[in-house]
């Protein structure tokens, strides 16, 4: 059983209990994060797209476990960020700054 905060995608379906290796409690599944933009000094509640890297190891990254220091990809299309070429930025990386399993939410800082 996974006893840490996890991210599962929108199409996540549990396997039958006979074939399930890692149980992810529903209370610890997160889909949104409170992300602070360092230059604007504003915090936004953004959707998580995926987990890029967890510093605790590759198994944590593969399982989607979120701990302090984890690099997550968030959907910033709502913020209206554009590239110098004029394209809208869809996803950016953010680093988790708190311990989600103790706090009950995910706080992160946008990596600019």
CA nearest neighbour of 52 among 70, 78, 75, 26: 70
Q: Quick one: CATH architecture of 6-110?
A: Beta Barrel (2.40)
Per-residue confidence in pLDDT tens, the chain, 112 aa: 888 999 988 888 888 888 888 888 888 999 999 999 999 999 999 999 999 999 999 999 999 999 999 999 999 998 888 889 989 889 999 999 999 999 999 999 999 8
Domain ranges of the chain: 6-110
């Amino acid at each position: 059983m996974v006893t840490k905060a996890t991210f599962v995608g929108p199409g996540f379906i549990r396997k039958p209990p006979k074939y399930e290796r890692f149980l992810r409690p529903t209370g610890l599944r997160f889909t949104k994060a409170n992300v602070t933009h360092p230059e604007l000094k504003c915090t936004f509640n953004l959707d998580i797209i995926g987990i890029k890297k967890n510093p605790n190891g590759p198994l944590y990254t593969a399982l989607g476990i979120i701990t302090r220091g984890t690099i997550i990809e968030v959907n910033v299309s709502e913020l209206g960020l554009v590239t110098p070429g004029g394209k809208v930025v869809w996803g950016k990386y953010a680093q988790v700054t708190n311990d989600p399993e103790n706090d009950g939410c995910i706080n992160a800082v946008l990596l600019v």
